[in-house]
Amino acid sequence: MKRLGFILLGLIFMPDLLFATNLSFPGKEGAIAYFKMGSGSRNVILVPGIGDTKENYLELAQILAKDVTVYGMDLRGMGGSDTSFSSYGPEETGKDIVRFIQENHLTHVTVISNSMSAASAVYSAAELPEQIEAIVLTGPFVRDGEGMGWFMKLVVSGMFRGPWGAGAWKSYYQSLYPKNKPADLEEHSEFIKSNLQEEGRLSALRSMLFAGKGNCEQRIGNVKSKVLVLMGTDDPDFENPEEEAIWIAKQTKADYVMFENAGHYPYKEDPKRTADLVKEIWQKK
């Protein structure tokens, strides 16, 4: 019943879902929810960041689906996916992307990712160099960094749990759009809040926040696909957004583009520009 309620809520707040096929693919520990839209020989997989859902990609998906087949995946424990997994994090998401591609026999794949799932895109591209032709990293966290100290872990753990946890995440999520507020920001963040109030989802969220990226970062040198880095100039999750974009671009021999005044979700703030840049990278040899 919870799953049905979530789907109905999504249709109310996000009617574009009516034009997508909503599915799930099973695994050993649980199922990953996804939508499918459009058709074409090229395949695009959209993977959201921590605490977000596949629905945040709908505008971009609709643009790309005019020319290609688009899949929007939920993370483990988020959206319509199950909460029965034993672990959550960027490596696990990378493995889910790999399994999704293999089970669906996809080729000519572009993985568009955000935040934590950028590390997952790196992992999947290193694992499947023949199938994945490009990865697009938006607001990307790729390197492991120093991680959280014990005090910050205590703060984060206390903030995103209990009856207040989902509301706290909603407030934090909205702060990641410091200047350009999407028209549906309130509806989508309320959608996320309702989802996180379901049993097991805040626990999955905390697991992802604490998960390391080391096993993904180590694979950067093995990425053979084309890489595009998209970063907002005002992304509050980074002390110096352009510096991080430059570092990732150097490691992956990528192009990087700064979205002026954008926050942590440049693909959401300007989906048309994002789609145009994705199409440009397809044309590059």
CB atoms within 10 A of CB 266: 26
- Across 17-31, 36-50, 125-139, 217-231, least confident range: 17-31
138-159 pLDDT, tens digit per residue, is 999 999 864 445 445 555 666 6
Instruction: Give the rounded percent of residues in the chain with a pLDDT score beyond 90.
Output: 79
SS3 for 180?
Answer: coil
Which pTM does this prediction carry?
0.90
Give which of 126, 136, 132, 137 is closest to 109, Cα–Cα.
132
35-56 pLDDT, tens digit per residue, is 999 999 999 999 999 999 999 9
Q: Label residue 245 by pLDDT band (50, 70, 90).
A: very high
Instruction: Give the rounded percent of residues in the chain with a pLDDT score beyond 70.
Output: 87
60 or 17, greater pLDDT = 60
- 2-283: CATH topology is Rossmann fold (3.40.50)
Which range has highest mean pLDDT (136-145, 156-165, 265-274)?
A: 265-274
Cα 206 → chain centroid? 16
Q: What angle do CA 14, 20, 26 make, to 5 degrees?
A: 105
What is the sign of the dihedral through the CA atoms of 54, 58, 60 and 63?
positive
